[in-house]
Amino acid sequence: MNSFVRNARTGCLVTQKDDVKEINMKRAILGIGAVVLVGVAGAAGYLWHVNHQAARLRLPGTVEIQEVRLSSRVGGRIEAVLTQEGAIVEPGQPLVHLEMPELRAQRDQYQARLQAAQATLLKAQRGARPQEKESALAAADAAKARYDRMTAGYRAEEKDEARHEVAALKAELTFAQQEMERHRRLRTSTSLSELESATSAAAKLDAKVRQAQARLDLYESGHRAEDKAEAKAEWISRRAQAELLQAGTREEEIAEADARVAELYGKLRELDAQLAEAVVRAPERAVVEVVAVRKGDVVAANQPVVRVLRADDLWVKAYVSEVDLGKVSVGQTVELTIDSFPTKRFQGVVAHIVSTSEFTPRNIQSLDERRHQVFAIKVRVDDPQGIFKSGMAADVWLQVTAP
């Protein structure tokens, strides 16, 4: 039997069974509403979390390495090859030796010339030796004495001696002439030979008298003017030479000798620079890619002998769409992956973002077409193990956060 009760909301009489059904229906509706609210809240929270959590932007790229072709500025024959392809070389490490005997011989020649020029410069700086100065002064004094002697003329004693000699010879001549006249007067008692002998003796004495008289005249007249002028000129020359030695070397000559030494020093430095080219060295840390010569090869100047890849100048060139360009900045740390080591992560830094877009076939006319306009970025990466190879595909991963 159904019992009736009054409905509290409507005020009508209803059975107790109907009231229970209504209550259960309300509870069910409330439960469904709560579930829906929880689902909506969860979905909203998930969407918020997805929109605000860190995301990864993947950019495809290619490994690029700077190539350097090493050569010598002078040619020669290859003496030794000190590296091999694939080797990692350090800065300054010798790679190839060249033979340059001609340059070494030239350097020896200029070294000898430099020593001679240095000796000349030292001699110019020191000037004449004391012995040379004393010798020059003595020669000047001797020239002066000779000039004075010629200016003063012959001594009185020499003149008196010449006069006495003339007088004696004249006396002998007078006696010889008298003997000759006596033999002529006595022709009958004197032989012809005695007459001729007396005549010859008188003639010889006459010649001696003339010679002695000429010498006396020379003594009395003194030296000739030409001889005096010659003696004076020699004295002046000797005196000038002595004064020149006393004064030392001229500054211009010292400067000239010094310039010659500097010139030869410069030539030696030039030859040393050329001889340094006999060894081809690694300019920096690099990986040897190609060794183009062998021992005994003859190479010309500036001919590449080794090709290396700069180990510290490794980067990945990737492209980012215009719509994602704002998510990339210079100096940003990124991760890189390559197909050869898919599970290994390499660290890199965005070093450069170009200012000009690429791969744009025509002007952008719509919003959808903007994603086809890309900008190249340069990511520098360290590779101490030499894993990265030029032309290898690589992926750049950037951590970005949605707004």
Cβ pair 1, 17 in contact under 8 A: no
Count the neighbouring beta carbons within 10 Å of the beta carbon of residue 364: 14
Give per-residue pLDDT as tens, 372-387: 677 888 888 877 677 7
d(CA 236, CA 144): 8
pLDDT at 322: 81
**Residue 262 token pair:** 């500097």
**Residue 299 token pair:** 């190479």
Give the pLDDT band (50/70/90) at residue 326.
confident
For residue 303, report the phi and psi dihedrals to the nearest 5 degrees: -85, 125
Q: For residue 377, which amino acid is it?
A: I
d(CA 15, CA 7): 9
Instruction: Determine the Cα angle at 312 with ends 309 and 317, to 5°.
Output: 80
Cβ pair 64, 317 in contact under 8 A: yes
Mean pLDDT on 273-290: 92
Encode 262-325 in three state secondary structure. Answer: HHHHHHHHHHHHHHHCCEEECCCCEEEEEECCCCCCEECCCCEEEEEEEEEEEEEEEEEEHHHH
Cβ pair 146, 235 in contact under 8 A: yes
pLDDT at 36: 57
Mean pLDDT on 128-137: 84
Cα 119 from chain centroid (whole Å) = 26
Q: Picking from 75-89, 343-357, 379-393, which range would have the lowest pLDDT averaged per residue?
A: 379-393
Q: For residue 116, how many C-alpha atoms fall within 13 Å in the half-sphere facing its CB?
A: 6
Residue scoring higher pLDDT (399 or 138): 138
pLDDT at 194: 74
User: Is residue 38's pLDDT more than 70?
Assistant: no
**Average pLDDT value over all residues in the chain:** 79
Residue scoring higher pLDDT (13 or 220): 220
Q: DSSP letters of 89-103? A: E-TT-EEEEEE-HHH
Give the pLDDT band (50/70/90) at residue 33.
low
pLDDT at 21: 58
Contacts of 13 (CB under 8 A, 6+ apart): 4, 5, 6, 7
d(CA 53, CA 89): 45
Cβ pair 348, 316 in contact under 8 A: yes
Q: Picking from 23-37, 99-113, 179-193, 317-331, which range would have the lowest pLDDT averaged per residue?
A: 23-37
Q: Please choose, from the candidates 383, 381, 363, the residue with its C-alpha nearest in 3D space to the C-alpha of residue 373.
A: 363
Structure-derived torsion over alpha carbons of residues 206, 208, 214, 215, reported in degrees to the nearest 10: -160
Q: Please choose, from the candidates 83, 67, 64, the residue with its C-alpha nearest in 3D space to the C-alpha of residue 310.
A: 67
User: Is residue 53's pLDDT more than 50?
Assistant: no
Contacts of 217 (CB under 8 A, 6+ apart): none
pLDDT at 384: 65
pLDDT at 54: 47
User: Is residue 300's pLDDT more than 80?
Assistant: yes
Q: Are strands 88-89 and 279-281 parallel, antiparallel or unpaired?
A: unpaired
Give the pLDDT band (50/70/90) at residue 119.
very high
pLDDT at 45: 52
- The pTM is what? 0.53
Give per-residue pLDDT as tens, 174-208: 877 787 777 777 765 566 777 777 778 878 888 88
Mean pLDDT on 89-116: 94
pLDDT at 5: 46
Helix intervals (H) in 63-129: 101-126
Give the pLDDT band (50/70/90) at residue 1.
very low
Mean pLDDT on 350-355: 87
